[in-house]
Structure 1
Amino acid sequence: MNHYEKLTNQPLVITLAEFRFSSVLQMESYVSLFQDYLRQDFPLFSVSQQQDVAVGPQGITVNSSTGWVFTSSNKKRAIMLDNSRIVILTSEYNRFPDFWSDCQKALNFLIDNVKPSLLLRIGLRYSNAIIAENEDENIESYVQPVVCEHGHFTKLSQQIHRINETIFKTDAGVIAIRSLYGNLNLPVWQDLIESPVLTNKSFNHSKRILLDFDHFWQPEEEPQAFDLSFITNKVKELHKISREAFFEITTPEGQEVWK
């Protein structure tokens, strides 16, 4: 079994876990009880309006839905809930067991009170930002060459940025590994900019590499009950492979810098 040393100066910006379930149309009736259950660790509360765009035979339809957000006092941990999913986020990730403790607490409430019927998807995502502290820092050496190489278009002109996405079937599910390299002002992957947790990363333009690991599972044929034991085992599998992917795409030189 591989041993992965704790990186105290890790480039990780946001970690999130998502659990989707068959819709509970009366979810709003549980929100006040959930808030009371969480308020010692997540005392801040807000309501969000979400829009889902669906394309069907009759054209494009836009459906609005309500969500509820529970945030820690330092705004670095949050739980998002709506009628069909719960998302746990943090920008102060330490070790997986600490993060899983927040997930387990939220899931226990759902199972004991809401009782969702079917588990439709589990997702575990790690979003990283490797930012050069000065122009001379060789952050390209912190990752495998495929992340930053110029490809086959060197005759066109100077490369501004490079995007990669590779999707793998794993023993636990499917993982999408994405990278973005260039002179950028994004502190995290684009779709996470509006997340409810605060980050310490800069919005100023600088040389940086964004690495995103999005590992998910969903039932292929047979329906799966919303069961904590199954969820726990599956999330641990997703985490193990995601961690391996991070240490494979980064180099010993980068890992030494982040210790």
Structure 2
Amino acid sequence: MHQFFTQNRILAQITNVTFLYHLCYLVLAALSFLASPFISLLLFDIVPRVKGLKKVLESVFVNIGKIILIFYLALIVIHCYAFLAFLIEDISVFQEDQSLELPFITIFLRFFGNGFRLQNAFSQTDVYPDQQWGNYIFLVTFFLVVFIICFALIISIITGQYSHKNLLSKNQKNKSCKICNISYYQCREKNISWQEHIEKVHKLSAYLFFIICLQQKQELNYVEREIAKKLLEKDMSWLPTI
């Protein structure tokens, strides 16, 4: 029996999220002595400690489906541009060896290598100016559609969700718990999560459901009889307090 409880205690410790988090942190800290890039992963420890970063991540996870669909839209746009590019009559645009015109792939790589500056990507070649306008228009429209429109949609979704959370929290700051009458600022003083308190600990609908069950239940135990008696006397002292 003692061995059974010991195994259960070990299993509970292994499946504990806090324990696993600190274990991963310790492993990464040890690996950072062998390879310096591992120490950069420890910076993610800042995320759960800063409320603003946590809200941003929550906004990302809430809208993860929309973000995936936007990336899917970006892939469709890239596919359409690739199909359009290969329909160009002068296919030598895409040949990397001894081509007079600046190849699309070369411009693409130079664009990323120069910090997303199209001017530098085109200025590093000796091609004739009148032969690169097609590539220039092609690339400008491509990056406008993919990098500006698609990523702007993602940013707008995240910021919209973030502002909604802030607005919701501002409205809730002026309210108090319907069960124990504790306010938002009192919860902060006691290091209690206000959102978790009103949605899980003292959820009003759960207590209303309990009162309805007391009225319809035929056989009551001692605690239920005492609560039913207090309800008839309009005594709300049975409600839990923090």
Band the TM-score falls in, shorter-chain normalisation: under 0.3
Larger relative contact order (Cα-Cα within 8 Å, sequence gap ≥ 6): 1
Q: Which has the higher strand share?
A: 1
Query: Which protein shows a greater Rg?
Result: 2
Q: Which has the higher helix share?
A: 2
TM score, norm. by length of structure 1: 0.20
